[in-house]
Amino acid sequence: MKKISKQEVKHIADLSRLALTEEELELYSKQLEVILEYMDKLNNIDTTNVEPVSSIIMLYKNVEVKPYYREDVPKESVCREEILQNAPQRIHNYFNFAYKENHLL
């Protein structure tokens, strides 16, 4: 049974502001289908006696686990104009995310 349709992939692409060709829709729907089938297999695995871990390193009992955190150190930020140069479209001093295929919504 098909888990995801091309229409669902198109809907997700539209929400993500991605313009996909018909070939890409077909390809991605097949790829997502394989991923969802694999997730079904994982969901059927009995994990009753498996301890939860937040990192694979914790599975190795002899390894000293150190936190991966870094110190929170304030530093100078990049200037607004430099950041806005990365905007695909902008309105005044803001990113404009309300566009689709180069057309404002």
For the chain, give the DSSP string: --SS-HHHHHHHHHHTT----HHHHHHHHHHHHHHHHHHHHHHTS--TTPPP-SSGGGG-TTSPP----------PPPPHHHHHTT-SSEETTEE---EETTEE-
Would you kindly state where each structural domain of the chain is located, as residue ranges?
1-46
| Class (C level, CATH) for 1-46 | mainly alpha
pLDDT of residue 25: 93
pLDDT digits (tens, 9 = 90+) for 54-89: 777 666 666 666 666 778 889 888 888 888 888 878
Return the percentage of the chain with pLDDT > 70, whole number.
80
> Model pTM?
0.48
